[in-house]
Amino acid sequence: MAKRIEDLKVIGNKRLNNDFFVLELSGNDKIPDFKPGQFAQVRVDGSPETFLRRPISIHDVDYERNTFKLLIQIAGKGTGALSKLRNGDFLNLIYPLGNSFGLPVENERVLLVGGGCGVAPLLFLGKYLRSNGYIPDILLGFRNSEQIIEFEEYLKIGNVFLTTEDGSKGEKGYVTNHSILLTGRYKRIYCCGPDSMMRAIAGYCKKNNIACEVSLENLMACGIGVCLCCIIDTIKGNLCTCIDGPVFNINELKW
């Protein structure tokens, strides 16, 4: 699919909690056919310290209204500046970028696992799976109950399981400790979150022979495969997370 560079209009900026907000964007042209796992390189204007673009996943897509959403965690200067956008402001994006999650094999029982800003691509992935006939389960990990976001959205897709680090909601601990993983019912796991979480899930999947794809969040400069800054060491040598990823089968990785 052709990549584009475009000014998109902010038509919504909803604050979910202290850390997260959702930007809704609409363009003049028809939005592209996104694939789940893809991302955009977002230009942060008006922040003296954001020279490079920021990679942000496609969070949700509404083809009828010709809009899509980004779920963003305030991590620093760039995301902080984005959180201040107002309706009517414009945002420059290079998109859609990257590969995407693969579809499951027929009848495979599927689990989506997410934590932190890693939940961003999972909503669109979940909807995509649903529209392709799969009803995935979803396991989300948060620090505490106040950090839980968009719970209702995920309920529309499938069963949702929760962990919180303080046990204030769902099971206490990390996603990797959740009891549903003990059921052994999942043949495929899609995972996105902090590095440590993805590594733990990957370890679990390898041990239990579960197909697993993870979405990496390496530092990026260009996002289009030319700077070679975003590399990940794989069994095929260094690959670029921006074009060969961000989604990788864990068997490719040297984790």
Ligand X SMILES: Cc1cc2nc3c(=O)[nH]c(=O)nc-3n(C[C@H](O)[C@H](O)[C@H](O)COP(=O)(O)O)c2cc1C
Binding site for ligand X (CB under 6 A): 227, 229
Among 240, 247, 250, 253, binds ligand FES (CB under 6 A): 240
Asked if 239 interacts with another protein (CB under 8 A), we say no
Asked if 51 interacts with a second copy (CB under 8 A), we say yes
Asked if 40 interacts with ligand FES (CB under 6 A), we say no
Binding string, residues 186-225; x marks residues near another protein by CB under 8 A: --------------------------------xxxxxxxx
According to DSSP, residue 212 is labeled E
Asked if 76 interacts with ligand FAD (CB under 6 A), we say yes
Q: Are 68 and 60 a contacting pair, CB within 8 Å?
A: yes
Among 38, 50, 163, 176, binds another protein (CB under 8 A): 50
112-to-32, 81, 152, 174 alpha-carbon distances in Å? 24, 30, 15, 14
Asked if 226 interacts with ligand FES (CB under 6 A), we say yes
Asked if 48 interacts with a second copy (CB under 8 A), we say yes
Q: Which does 233 bind (CB under 5 to 8 A by kind): ligand FAD, another protein, ligand FES, none?
A: another protein
Taking the C-alpha atoms of residue 26 and residue 189, their distance in angstroms, rounded to an integer, is 31
Q: Are 122 and 101 a contacting pair, CB within 8 Å?
A: no
Instruction: With H, G, I as helix, E, B as strand and everything else as coil, classify residue 50.
Output: coil
Token code pair at residue 222:
């260009």
Nearer to a second copy, 50 or 215 (CB): 50
Among 129, 217, 244, 248, binds ligand FAD (CB under 6 A): 217
The rounded radius of gyration (Å) of the Cα atoms in the chain is 18
Backbone angles phi, psi at 21, to 5 degrees: -145, 160
* Shortest CB 83 distance to ligand FES, Å: 23
Among 225, 234, 251, 252, binds ligand FES (CB under 6 A): 225
Asked if 221 interacts with ligand FES (CB under 6 A), we say yes
Q: Which does 46 bind (CB under 5 to 8 A by kind): ligand X, ligand FAD, a second copy, none?
A: a second copy
Cα diameter, the chain: 51
* One-letter identity of residue 40: A
**DSSP for 114-150?**
EEGGGGHHHHHHHHHHHHTT---EEEEEESSGGG---
Q: Are 214 and 198 a contacting pair, CB within 8 Å?
A: yes
Instruction: Count how many residues are written for the chain.
Output: 255
* Shortest CB 49 distance to a second copy, Å: 8
Binding site for a second copy (CB under 8 A): 45-48, 50-51, 81
Binding site for another protein (CB under 8 A): 2-5, 43, 48-53, 94, 218-233, 237-238
